[in-house]
Structure 1
Amino acid sequence: MGRTVRHLFVAGCVLLWLIPLYLLVVNALTPATEYAGKPEWTFQGFAFLDNLDTAWNVAGIGDSFQSSLLYAVVCGLVAVLVAAMAAFAVVVLPIPRPAFWFWLIYSGTLFPLQMFLAPLFGMYADANLYDTRIGLMLVYTAWAVPFAFFLIRNHMTTMPPELTEAALIDGASFPRIFWRIHVPLMKAGLGAAFIFQFTAVWNDLLLGITLSRSPDVQPVMAALTTLNNAYSSAGPPVILAGALIVSAPTLVLFLVFRGLFLRGVTASAR
C-alpha cells in the first residue's frame, strides 16, 4: 500500500511537471497569426522556426543569448577555480581558524540577494561598471563562489590527508599538491559545482535587470522580459519559442554530464 501511494505521488509530480512543458511546446509551435488568445492543447501547425526567428533576430534575443553563454561559462569556470583554491586553503593548508574562514566564505549564500541590489547599483554607477559585460561578470563570479566553495570543500574533506602528507615528505609544494593531486581527484566535484553555477548564472534575472539595460549586455532572462513587454503584440507563441530555446543549454548540459554531476553531488554529500 505504501509503495503504491509513493508511486502515485511520484506520477502526480511528473504529470504536474509535464503538463506545463507540453503546453509550452504546443504553443511555441503555433503560428502567431492563428493564436486564439488562450493556451492551445492541440497542435495547430508548425511555426516554431518563424516564431524563433522573430524572437532571435527582430527582438534581439540572440545577442543576449550569446552574452549569457559568455557569463555562464566564464564566470562558472572562474568561480569554481577560486572556490577550489579557497577550499584547499581551508581544508589542507595549515591556516589559523579554518572554521572561521569557512563560515566567512559560506555566509555569502545565507543573505538574500535583494539586500545587495541598492549598494551594487550605486557602486556600479560610480565606477562606470553599470551596463557593462565586465561588471556583470564580476558580480556573477563573486555571487557563484560561496556555494561552489561549499560543494568543493565538502568533497575535499573526504580525501585522505595521507596523500598530502606523503607529497610533502617527497618535497612537493602546496601549489603542486593542489594541481597534481587534488584537482585530478576532484574532477567530479568540480564538474558538479560548475554545472550548478552555470545554471544559476544562466537563469539569473534579478542582477540582469538591475545592472544592465543594453540588449548586447543584458543576460538572456532579462531579454525575455523585454520580449514579453515590447513584442507582446507578436503573440505568446513568439515569447514561448524564445523561452523554449533559452531553456535548452542547461538541459543539454545536464543530460550530457549527468553522470559526472551525480558522482560529484554524491561525493560532496558524504
Structure 2
Amino acid sequence: MGRTARHVFVAGCVALWLLPLYLLVVNALTPAADYRGEPDWTLQGFALADNVGTAWKEARIGDSFQASLLYATVCGLVAVLVAATAAFAVVVLPIPRPAFWFWLIYSGTLFPLQIFLAPLFGLYADTGLYDTRIGLMLVYVAWAVPFAFFLIRNQMTTMPPELTEAALIDGASFRRIFWRVHVPLLRAGLGAAFLFQFTAVWNDLLLGLTLSRSGDVQPVMASLATLRATYASSGPPVILAGALVVSVPTLVLFLLFRGLFLRGVTASVR
C-alpha cells in the first residue's frame, strides 16, 4: 500500500507539472487572431512561428534575450570565480576568524531581495548606472556570489587538508595551489554553482524591472512582463510563445549538464 501511495503521489506531481506545460504549448501554437479569450485545451492551429516572430521582432524580445544571455553567462562566471576565491580564503588560507567571514558573505542570501530595491534605485539614479548593462551586471554578480560561495565552500571543506600541506612542502604558492589543485578538484561544484547562478540571473524579474527600461538593456523576463501590457490586444498566444522561447536556454543547459549538476550538488551537501 505504501509503495502504491508513493507511485500515485509521484504521478500526481508529474501531472501537476505537465499540465501547465501542456497549456503553455497548446496556446502558444494558437493563432493570435483565433484566440477566444479563454485557454484552449485542444490544438487550434500551428502559428508558433508567427507568434514568436511578433514577440521576437515587434516586441523586441530578441534584444532582451541577447542581453540576458550576456548577463547570465558573464555574471555567472564572474560570481563563481569570486565565490571560489572567497571559499578558498575561508577554508584554506590561515586568516583570522574564518567563521565570521563565512557568515558575513553567506548573509547575502538571508535577506529578501525586495529590501534592496529602493536603495539600489536611488544609488543607480545618482551614479548614472540606471538603465545600463554594466549597472545590471554589477548587481547580478553581487547578488549571485553568496549562494555560489555557500555551495563551493561546502565542497571545499570535504577536501583533505593534506593536499594543501603537501603542495606547500613542495614550494607551491597559495595562488598555484588554488589553480592547480583546488580548481581541478572542484569542477563539479563550480559547474553546479554556475548552473544555479545562470538560472537565477536568467529568471530575474525584480532587478530588471527596477533598474532598467530600455529594450536592449532590460533582461528578457522584464521584457516578457511588459509584453503583456504592450501587446494585450494580440492575446496570450504571443506572450506564451515568448515565454516558451525564453525558457529554452535554461532547459537546454540543464539537459546537457545534468550529470555535472548532480555531482556538484551531491558533493556540496555531504
TM above 0.5, one fold? yes
- State the identity %: 84
Give how far 1:51 is off.
0.3
Deviation at 1:62, TM superposition (A): 0.3
Q: CA deviation at 1:227?
A: 0.6
Paired amino acid for 1:218: Q
Partner in structure 2 of residue 100 of structure 1: 100
Q: Which residue of 2 aligns with 1:50?
A: 50
- Deviations along 1:174-214, one digit per CA (max 9) or x if unpaired, are 00000000000000000000000000000000000000000
Secondary structure of the residue that 1:138 maps to in structure 2? helix
Q: Does 1:29 align with 2:26?
A: no
Q: Supply the AA of the counterpart residue of 1:24.
A: L
Match of 2:61 in 1: 61
Q: Give the count of matched residue pairs.
A: 270
Question: Could you give the per-residue CA deviations for residues 115-161 of structure 1, whole angstroms, max 9, x where no partner exists?
Answer: 11111111111110000000000000000000000000000001110
Alignment gaps of 5+ in structure 1: none
1:181 partnered with 2:181: yes
> In 2, Cα distance between the equivalents of 1:203 and 1:180?
34
Any stretches of 5+ residues in structure 2 without a counterpart?
Answer: none
Q: Which residue of 1 is the match for residue 91 of structure 2?
A: 91
Cα distance in structure 2, aligned partners of 1:162 and 1:30:
62
Distance between the aligned counterparts of 1:247 and 1:7, measured in 2?
29
1:86-121 deviations in whole A, cap 9, x for unaligned?
000000000000000000000000001111111111
Q: Which amino acid letter does the alignment assign opposite residue 60 of structure 1?
A: R
**d(CA) in 1 for partners of 2:96 and 2:226?**
49
* Cα distance in 2 between the residues matched to 1:4 and 1:119: 53
- Residue number in structure 2 paired with 1:259: 259
Name 2:128's counterpart in structure 1. 128
- In structure 2, the partner of 1:248 is 248
Partner of residue 74, structure 1: 74
Shift of 1:249: 0.5
Q: Distance in 1 between matches of 2:16 and 2:99?
A: 42
Deviation for aligned residue 1:36: 1.1
What RMSD, in angstroms, separates the aligned Cα atoms of the two structures? 0.4
SS at match of 2:159: coil
Mapped to 2, the partners of 1:243 and 1:249 lie a distance apart of: 12
Which secondary structure state, in structure 1, belongs to the residue aligned with residue 128 of structure 2?
Answer: coil
